[in-house]
Amino acid sequence: RPFEWFILFTIFANCVALAVYTPYPNSDSNATNAQLEQIEIIFMVIFTLECFMKIIAYGFVLHPGAYIRSVWNTLDFLIVVIGLVSGALDFLMQGEGGEAGFDVKALRAFRVLRPLRLVSGVPSLQVVLNSILKAMVPLLNIALLVMFVIIIYAIIGLELFSGALHFTCYNNETGNRMEVPHPCDNGTAGFNCSELNKDGQFWVCRDGWEGPNYGITNFDNFGLAMLTVFQCITMEGWTDMMYYIADAMGNSWQWIFFVSMIILGAFFVMNLILGVLSGEFSKEREKAQARGDFMKLRKKQQIEEDLRGYLEWITAAEDIEMEGDEKTETDDGRRLVLPGTSNRGAMSVASPTSLLLFLPLFSMRNSKAVEVDDKGDENDDAQQPSWWQRKKKGFDRFVKGTI
């Protein structure tokens, strides 16, 4: 609908304005921020009018399908209320000279929630977010499995590689460490520092290095071992870690530890998370599709019920007509008038078949065929709705048609 597209465009424009806005310390600002503050008032008015129009169309709380009963509408309502409160406080607490007497930056921070209104306006985003929320319980079970794998491999790494990553090559004369340090081995299994000997410089492997990544990536204690294993199963730098261990201890069997960890942890366990999210997304998409089909079916049934009611009304009108004066059967002075039209909108009641041709002209939601007399009985004028009632019905039809 044009109204929904207009609201989505407004939300997108508000997101752009929030991105352009540049905060300054000590309540400082610039010309761009001042203009954005003025534009912010326009956004606030539009969102407030949207909120009021939806409340008028759907009801607030008590009506079935009321505005506040929807989670997304509740989020929109809270964002609008917070914006109104922050704007009111900013206006009321203005001190003399135009300087704010009360800091409302804490409330202004809630403006970042406005992009969440896109979720309420785009059904596909609702499906994605609902999928993530529904997947929380299965993801908790998978998280326990991931933690179990991390703990097992952390214990194994702690037993096998503890303290192995602190040896590196030092210059035997100057005592300086090599430019790009990496682990070494005093034996023959790993990296031998004698390979660096040249130009009369001799290098020896000794302890004293904090380790890779400033001492964070190692197996010296259980906590750092868990962190290192988690880094490896996310496939972030796991080959570097395997080469570090190979330089420190050799490459005879150490690769088995890392390859098995990647196969079990990265290829199987971590991909279970994607599997759960994909499954929940498929379920939510099917629910959304079924909900849309149900709404179409219900609308179709409502149209059929309205048509059935019109047919019954026409049949009853013909029965009443035939029971009347037979002399005036061809022209009984009775006709159908479309609401909101004058005599030009009137048509003679000839037969059900001829009336069925004009049934699509009737609005299924708001219009209703009214039977009136040509002679214009004075009692009918007394039963006509007042000017205020006609205006109110017209406004309600406009709001419902817009929303």
Answer yes or no: is 40 a known binding residue. Answer: no
* Under 8 Å between Cβ of 94 and 101: yes
In Å, how far are 25, 297, 364, 393 from 302, measured between CA atoms?
Answer: 59, 9, 8, 21
User: Is the Cα dihedral 252, 253, 257, 262 positive or negative?
Assistant: positive
E strands along 144-289, which residues?
A: 167-171, 203-207
Give Dmax over CA atoms of the chain in angstroms.
Answer: 133
- Tell me the C-alpha distance between 235 and 245, whole Å: 16
Going by their DSSP bridges, the two strands 203-207 and 370-373 should be labelled as unpaired
Look up residue 210 and give its amino acid: E
Listing DSSP states for 91-146 in one string gives HHTB-GGG-BSS--HHHHGGGGGGGGHHHHH-HHHHHHHHHHHHTHHHHHHHHHHH
Going by their DSSP bridges, the two strands 167-171 and 203-207 should be labelled as antiparallel
* Under 8 Å between Cβ of 27 and 37: no
Q: Cβ neighbours of residue 322 under 8 Å, at least 6 residues apart?
A: 329
3-state SS, 320-382, equals HHHHCCHHHCCCCCEEEECCCCCHHHEEECCCHHHHHCCHHHCCCCCCCCEEEECCCCHHHHH
- Binding residue positions: 236
- Binding residue positions for Ca(2+): 236
